[in-house]
Structure 1
């Protein structure tokens, strides 16, 4: 039996690489002769660089940049010289994981370090910069990123979402656009939220980053003020994807960037379609498999790719909150919950790799007798 194991990360517990390894080990406990190919994946959020380096090779370039709280953090991007393409994981510069839970405050978290990563990649010869969006601590509309590239007034742009409300004059994007002139910028995301409004960055993602109701209102006002002050570039505040990563999608659009599916970018990069064509089963997974997962997130992309090749697809997730008929409609033959297998959330979190191995062994038994 040939199995392709192609999971996303299990957020907060296992990277995609670790999840793929645990699933493979568990399957081999039941079926030691199975031909297993590990293909860890990412949707553009944390793990983007690691996954693409595994698939594409290239050079991982280490840079010290400004973190979301203004302190130095170590980050890296992937530079693939053959295509002059840099793959930048925005979470490495402004990720939520970089801020202790008790200190999270998107009013003052900055995306400045993302601009520093882009600037460094351009200096190293990148002609295309694919910026993976997701997992950010920020809600600054990408203003910090723009400030790092030269946009002004930097004193109001570089310090988080809240100071943007004080903008009274125009934002000068010309220096930032000049700094990236001739470079193709791509926002890799599968979030279709606009910058502002009821489904915008502040309303939807602000609470996940530590904002209370009043802070969400202030951030919404600040982002609207920022968008009103922009004088160079198009009107992108309502463009799908503009609200990704706290508005980083919006800032990239202002620099003539495009929004593309992070999932499809990664699936094409790893050649998943070719890999699943000769497989008997594709096993994918993520931390929480819910209604959002069926709106173009990674498991849906994997299932769609597998279905086009006539290959069955199963999902293993920390939590499964999708009805069986909904999963089948998306091309997913079966789903398995790590929490149910482990017996509790606490047990699943205590030993995630071990519990995932145990569940994979169970999945293998069910499929080997199917």
Structure 2
């Protein structure tokens, strides 16, 4: 029996690596002889570099860069030949900002630009920037400032400092990445501005109240007027990713690609699934968004192409079962339900996930490919 275990992180509790190890341990508790292949995954957000390093090897380049509030933070760039992988969350992630200090009007993506610069200095000709989990809403202005764009003091001071910006010089930043292919790895398709934009959709989770969201959207509009006068890039799908970091990369000639697809290709999930009896994936919350291109959706579709059943383990499960089945999900299991409470699921995540995996393993002979559990 070969089980491929390919989860995302369980946000706030377990990394993808920890989640995969917990599921594998639970399965082996019941089936000691099972061949469990752990394949931790990321959609481009937190864990992007760790997951890819585990899958493809390469060399980690340790850096000290500007964090979201200006203090230095440590971050790695993954170098694989002439391709570099940068995780934006390592430089400007929400986890780097204490809860009582979260304010996307102040946080900056400057550190992301510094990581890109280090990658280029190291010889990278392609730089893939994993997006997600950011604390910022500056449209990538801080990143541009780190690469030489001006006025540096305004661009690097957070989204709020962009209000009233009349002009910006991005030419130095363009020269800094000349000849380098930039890729924004994200499955977010939001534009920069408006009701579906960076501020309105993601601002509240970063500390912005409704009034702050309106102010941030207006500030980003000023920034866009100064850098994209014809309006083409601000409306592009993915421009609003990571608080508008996608927009900043588009200004530099970058492209937006699926973070899920890039990671699944890098780890070779297609070939692994082809030889499996079962694929197990998971994330913190398996909900309607999970079936709109997020990582479990990509894993399930990969398994389905080979006629292999796929089960989901998640902290909470609210996705419609019929929609999940159409996506290739055989069954979904809630950690909160199995643990008995949210508190237990959060405080003993690894132990409870291991126990849940063992329960699934015991039931596995009674789970068939038509999507029924017994």
Match of 2:105 among 90, 104, 107: 107
Q: Distance in 1 between matches of 2:364 and 2:227?
A: 56
Specify the alignment match of 1:135 in structure 2. 133
Q: Distance in 1 between matches of 2:161 and 2:182?
A: 26
Q: Distance in 1 between matches of 2:216 and 2:62?
A: 32
Specify the alignment match of 2:227 in structure 1. 230
Specify the alignment match of 2:180 in structure 1. 183
Task: Map residues 31-180 of structure 1 onto 2, 5 A cutoff.
Answer: 31-81=31-81, 84-168=82-166, 170-180=167-177
Tell whether the 8 Å contact from 1:174 to 1:232 is kept in structure 2 after alignment.
no
SS in structure 2 at match of 1:314 = strand
Specify the alignment match of 2:370 in structure 1. none
SS in structure 2 at match of 1:45 = coil
User: Hey, which bits of structure 1, 4+ residues long, moved more than 6 A?
Assistant: none
Task: Map residues 183-332 of structure 1 onto 2, 5 A cutoff.
Answer: 183-230=180-227, 235-332=232-329
- In structure 2, the gaps of 5 or more residues are 368-374
Displacement of 1:233 after TM fit? 9.3
Specify the alignment match of 1:12 in structure 2. 12
Displacement of 1:77 after TM fit? 1.2
Displacement of 1:232 after TM fit? 8.6
Tell whether the 8 Å contact from 1:146 to 1:173 is kept in structure 2 after alignment.
yes
Tell whether the 8 Å contact from 2:288 to 2:320 is kept in structure 1 after alignment.
no
Greater shift after overlay, 293-302 or 318-327?
A: 318-327
Tell whether the 8 Å contact from 1:67 to 1:112 is kept in structure 2 after alignment.
yes
Displacement of 1:48 after TM fit? 0.3
Displacement of 1:345 after TM fit? 0.7
| Superposition TM-score, scaled by structure 1 size | 0.98
Q: Distance in 1 between matches of 2:334 and 2:135?
A: 28
Q: Distance in 2 between matches of 1:346 and 1:101?
A: 20
Q: Distance in 1 between matches of 2:59 and 2:28?
A: 32
SS in structure 2 at match of 1:76 = strand
Q: Deviations over 1:74-94 (max 9, x none)?
A: 11110012xx00000000000
Q: 1:302 to 1:275 in 2, by over 3 A?
A: same
| Superposition TM-score, scaled by structure 2 size | 0.97
Specify the alignment match of 2:333 in structure 1. 336
Tell whether the 8 Å contact from 2:224 to 2:231 is kept in structure 1 after alignment.
no
SS in structure 2 at match of 1:117 = helix
Specify the alignment match of 1:357 in structure 2. 354
Q: 1:251 to 1:214 in 2, by over 3 A?
A: same
Q: Give aligned pairs, total.
A: 367
